[in-house]
Structure 1
Amino acid sequence: MSDLQFDSSSAGIGEICKAIICLEIAANMKHVLFDRQTAIRLSGMSEKAYIRSFNVMQNGIGVKNTLDIKELAIQFGCVRLIPLVRKGLSLYRERFIASLPPSRRASADFTRPVFTATGFYLCAKKHKLKVNKNKLIELSGTSEDEFSSVSTSMKDLCHDVFGVSTEKKDPKSVKVNRDLLDVLPEKRQAEDGGYSSDEGKDV
């Protein structure tokens, strides 16, 4: 698919890195754990460059990675979290979209697996259930920085669902990181004339 549908050379992705990214995409599609840190080391790229290349390539060949809440709950032995995670993610989407300018609301996309993985992790943490954070990061095909950014956003907007401290926050007063919804780095590159220093954190 990458050979037929994606010009990796124009995106600055070498053959070795392309092969490694294809392996990660395949692992994600089959829900097989993949060691991204080893992949980054073998690719010879920085973490930020690898994530950018992964996102560009995955979008370029039209592949979307998905995570199912029920499957995660069964895998981690936290079945009782299923309705709580679903409710939390629904509330997060509602509040996030309400904070966006009207022109961006219709295009808001929360299908990225990092949202599901982060919501599941925060619900488990709030209810004092142990889940492997690193394993969730690997399953979602994201980075620790990206996971952390989404986590902060969720706790700020939905502290009543995902927060664990006694401090309460008004979602209307929270400054939203709208870059979390920029899922197409190559589109931003075309608009900005190049990648920004924060590109590796796009979701």
Structure 2
Amino acid sequence: MCLDLAASMCGSTVNKSEAIRVAGVNKKVYTNGLKAFESMLDLQGDVSIKEMGVQFGCTGAVTLAEECLQSYIKEYNNKSCAEMDFGTSLFQAASLCAACRQLKIKVDRVKLKEVCSVKHKTFDRLVTELEKHAEKIQGAKKVVKQKRSKTLLDEIERQIEGMYIFI
């Protein structure tokens, strides 16, 4: 894992399957260990919600995810005085997942969980909390659609249809 981190810092690559075999662990343990080392050494790259949206093919949920996370941050700051780093991949991925659920966009939750490498319960609990904020935001955005007024083009089409009836 250390060799993998050193290689990535130097811009080189390591054969992951070979590194996993040499480490003597399965892929999940290796990935979680690698993420833990990155976190301890503060080497992990911050991934934005927009980047995750592009990566997972759900760019339509990005704006809602960002609004949802901002709402959650406001509520959290009102409740607690403790400092929390909301820029981590956990909060980014969870808010994107909550937004996708709210908008009924399919996204691979397993891969989203892998990005932040946390336990399923932790991720699911945070997604549930963020879904509440997404519902509030979506509820506020829902507006009754008004019937559009007739335009000149609509009136011309109506006249033309009326002409065909008499012919």
Question: TM-score, normalised to structure 1's length?
Answer: 0.49
Give unmatched runs, 5+ long, in structure 1: 1-17, 27-33, 164-203
Q: CA deviation at 1:150?
A: 1.7
Aligned to 1:81: 61
8 Å contact 2:99–2:134 — kept in the other structure? no
Query: Which is higher, the Rg of structure 1 or of structure 2?
Result: 2
Root-mean-square deviation (CA, aligned residues, Å) is 3.9
Q: CA deviation at 1:148?
A: 1.6
1:93 aligns with 2:69: no
Give unmatched runs, 5+ long, in structure 2: 9-15, 140-167
1:134 aligns with 2:114: no
More moved, 126-135 vs 61-70: 61-70
Number of residue pairs aligned between Structure 1 and Structure 2:
128
Q: 1:157 to 1:20 in 2, by over 3 A?
A: farther
Distance 2:47 2:73 in 1: 16
Distance 2:121 2:24 in 1: 20
Q: Once the two structures are superposed, what CA deviation does each residue of 1:15-68 show, in whole Å capped at 9, x if it has no partner?
A: xxx549849xx5xxxxxxx99xx89x9448xx7xx969954x334322234222
1:97-136 pair list within 5 angstroms: 97-100=77-80, 102=81, 104=82, 107-136=83-112
Aligned to 1:71: 51
Q: 1:52 to 1:71 in 2, by over 3 A?
A: closer
1:149 aligns with 2:120: no
Percent sequence identity over aligned pairs: 18
Q: Once the two structures are superposed, what CA deviation does each residue of 1:88-136 show, in whole Å capped at 9, x if it has no partner?
A: 1100111011110x3x2xx221121011111101111111110000111
Structure with more relative contact order (C-alpha pairs < 8 Å, separation 6 or more): 1
SS at match of 2:44: coil
Distance 1:98 1:158 in 2: 18
1:62 aligns with 2:42: yes
